[in-house]
């Protein structure tokens, strides 16, 4: 079923904004999505009518806040098909979720000489924590190569698995290339090799249907702000058995069962990983975002983005001075609405500035993926446009027109 984009756009107040005197064309949803009024209103209602701390009191508004916070976890668990809400740990973002695994599970399980395996298309969030852990433990950090078409090199992956890594961590979908990885197959191969698996789902959960039980990963990380929700909250999904065996990362209130002068015992799941007052309003907003996306249907979301991506790739392919980095138009079924490109003779930052002057918001830089952009793509930076449920083909046309303007300006 096609999305009613015009109806959807009415839910996003910011889309009425002008930027540099032009109607805003927002093509940077891979960095952060815009927020519908349903999310904004849910957070506002919390502050206006039942702002209170959770798990702390038995008065009415505290109970309502606690119920909303817990229900948020249940709704998110169902959205990604986790077995139970207790398998959802709220953190600040995907970065913190991956760090939690590295610092808790990794600290207890990675030993000197062990192998950690990740891919060369990872965001820094899924590189730096493993570098830090490997250095601390004397472990070896290995990288899976990419094919010329910017997919995971599965033959290289199978070879690297022969080193029997303790953990394999990879992105479900690249924030630079748009490539969607076969997380289910990669997880099975890793498990067959005896490895634990972490999947970075920051880019996938907002855009495609995700079923963590079907993937069978041990850990899955995501961020609220990329899926219509507020910033400052994200989630780590982990299998219950993994969480039971892990030590909490932070100590303090709410994560304890009892505290004596010399020792403490931990609370039950998921609370043993959530010390102190949490981002309650963030959870309330995320619940509203999940409800919004569920109503649209994630299959419909993905189909809409594929249509936009196919159109944009076709338009860009007609321009001989533009090079797209990532899977091409024949691979639209296996990619997100994320298109990185370079304009011959124009620095990506200059291109972004020209598009900004035309009211078009795109991203330029290394996109927190320096090894990929600089070593694999071979550029110091790239321009990136990314689409979501509120984008239209005519907005892509405006972006293409601005690309042409940038080329003319810097060719003089």
**Range 329-358 burial, b when 16+ CB lie within 10 A, else e:** eebbeebbbbbbbbbeebbbebbbebbbbb
Query: Active-site residue 368, yes or no?
Result: yes
Closest to 243 measured CA to CA, from 267, 223, 263, 265: 267
Q: Residue 385 has which token pair? A: 């446009």
Note the pLDDT tens digit of each residue in 203-221.
Answer: 999 999 999 999 999 999 9
**Alpha carbon distance 60, 62 (integer Å):** 5
**The predicted structure's pLDDT at residue 255:** 83
The CATH architecture of the domain made up of 5-26+297-409 is Alpha-Beta Complex (3.90)
CATH tag, 41-294? 3.40.640.10
pLDDT tens, position by position, 222-254:
999 999 999 999 999 999 999 999 999 898 888
Would you say the C-alpha torsion 389, 395, 397, 401 has a positive or negative sign? negative
Per-residue pLDDT tens over the stretch 306-334 = 999 999 999 999 999 999 999 999 999 98
Residue 69 has a pLDDT of 97
- Residue 267 pLDDT class (50, 70, 90 cuts): confident
Contacts of 242 (CB under 8 A, 6+ apart): 105, 196, 218, 219
Task: Tell me the domain boundaries of the chain.
Answer: 5-26+297-409, 41-294
pLDDT, one tens digit per residue, over 42-82 is 999 999 999 999 987 889 999 999 999 999 999 999 999 99
DSSP letter, residue 373: I
Torsional sign, CA 388, 390, 392, 396: negative
Whole-model pTM: value is 0.96
Residue 219: its pLDDT value, please?
A: 98
Extract the tokens encoding 207: 């855009």
What is the rounded CA–CA span in Å between residue 97 and residue 398? 37
pLDDT tops 70 at residue 107: yes
Kindly indicate the confidence band of residue 271, based on its pLDDT and cuts at 50, 70 and 90.
confident
Q: Is the pLDDT of residue 296 over 90?
A: yes
Q: Which residue of the set 368, 369, 402, 403 is catalytic?
A: 368
CA angle 82, 88, 94 (to 5 degrees): 105
Alpha carbon distance 225, 340 (integer Å): 21
pLDDT at 253: 84
Contact 98, 200 (CB under 8 A): yes
pLDDT at 412: 62
Q: Under a CB-based contact definition with an 8 Å cutoff, are residues 179 and 309 in contact?
A: no
Q: Give the pLDDT score at 144.
A: 98
* Direct distance between the N- and C-terminal alpha carbons of the chain, in angstroms, rounded to an integer: 47
- Give Cβ neighbours of residue 100 (< 8 Å, ≥ 6 apart): 89, 91, 236, 249, 273
Residues in the chain: 412
Query: Which residues lie below 8 Å from residue 226, measured CB to CB, with a gap of 6+?
Result: 29, 30, 31, 32, 33, 202, 203, 205, 206
What distance in Å separates the CA atoms of residue 245 and residue 251, rounded to the nearest whole number? 17
Report the alpha-carbon distance of residue 377 to residue 174 in Å, rounded: 13
Tell me the percentage of the chain whose pLDDT exceeds 70.
100
Mean pLDDT of the chain: 96
Query: Mean per-residue pLDDT for 329-357?
Result: 95
Please, are residues 335 and 203 in contact by the beta-carbon 8 Å criterion?
no
**Mean pLDDT, rounded, for 343-361:** 96
Min mean pLDDT across 20-34, 217-231, 258-272 is at 258-272
pLDDT score of 35 more than 80? yes
Under a CB-based contact definition with an 8 Å cutoff, are residues 46 and 65 in contact?
Answer: yes
Query: What residues contact 353, with CB distance under 8 A and at least 6 apart?
Result: none
Q: Give per-residue pLDDT as tens, 375-412.
A: 999 999 999 999 999 999 999 999 999 999 999 998 76
- pLDDT band, residue 282 (cuts 50/70/90): very high
> What's the pLDDT at 268?
86
Residue 269 pLDDT greater than 70, yes or no: yes
Q: Specify the higher pLDDT residue, 267 or 156.
A: 156
Instruction: Judge if 5-26+297-409 and 41-294 fold alike in CATH terms.
Output: no
Query: Do the Cβ atoms of 225 and 251 come closer than 8 Å?
Result: no
């Amino acid at each position: 079923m096609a999305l009613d984009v015009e109806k959807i756009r009415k839910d996003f107040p910011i889309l009425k904004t002008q930027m540099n005197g032009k109607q805003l064309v927002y093509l940077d949803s891979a960095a952060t999505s815009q927020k519908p009024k349903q999310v904004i209103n849910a957070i506002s209602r919390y502050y206006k009518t039942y702002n209170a701390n959770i798990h702390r009191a038995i008065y009415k508004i505290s109970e309502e806040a606690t119920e909303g916070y817990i229900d948020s976890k249940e709704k998110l668990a169902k959205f990604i098909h986790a077995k139970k809400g207790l398998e959802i740990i709220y953190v600040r973002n995907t970065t913190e979720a991956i760090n939690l695994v590295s610092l808790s599970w990794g600290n207890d399980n990675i030993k000197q000489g062990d192998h950690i395996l990740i891919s060369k298309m990872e965001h820094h969030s899924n590189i730096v924590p493993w570098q830090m852990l490997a250095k601390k433990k004397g472990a070896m950090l290995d990288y899976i190569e990419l094919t010329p078409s910017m997919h995971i090199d599965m033959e290289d992956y199978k070879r690297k698995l022969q080193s029997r890594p303790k953990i394999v961590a990879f992105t479900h979908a690249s924030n630079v290339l748009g490539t969607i990885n076969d997380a289910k197959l990669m997880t099975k191969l890793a498990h067959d090799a005896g490895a634990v698996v972490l999947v970075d789902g920051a880019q996938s959960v907002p855009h495609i249907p995700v079923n963590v039980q079907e993937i069978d990963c041990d850990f899955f990380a995501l961020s609220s702000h990329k899926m219509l929700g507020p910033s400052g909250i994200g989630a780590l999904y982990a299998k219950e058995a993994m969480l039971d065996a892990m030590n909490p990362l932070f100590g303090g209130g709410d994560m304890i069962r009892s505290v004596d002068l010399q020792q403490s015992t931990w609370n039950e799941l998921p609370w043993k990983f959530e010390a102190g007052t949490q981002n309650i309003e963030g959870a309330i907003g995320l619940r509203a975002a999940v409800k919004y996306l569920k109503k649209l249907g994630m299959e419909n979301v993905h189909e809409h983005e594929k249509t936009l991506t196919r159109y944009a790739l076709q338009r860009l392919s007609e321009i001989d001075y533009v090079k797209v980095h990532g899977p091409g138009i024949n691979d639209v079924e296996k990619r997100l609405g994320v298109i990185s490109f370079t304009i011959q003779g124009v620095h990506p930052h200059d291109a972004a500035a020209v598009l900004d002057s035309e009211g078009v918001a795109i991203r330029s830089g290394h996109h927190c993926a320096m090894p990929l952009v600089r070593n694999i793509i071979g550029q110091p930076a790239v321009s990136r446009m990314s689409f979501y449920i509120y984008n239209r083909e005519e907005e892509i046309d405006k972006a293409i027109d601005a690309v042409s303007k940038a080329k003319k300006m810097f060719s003089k």
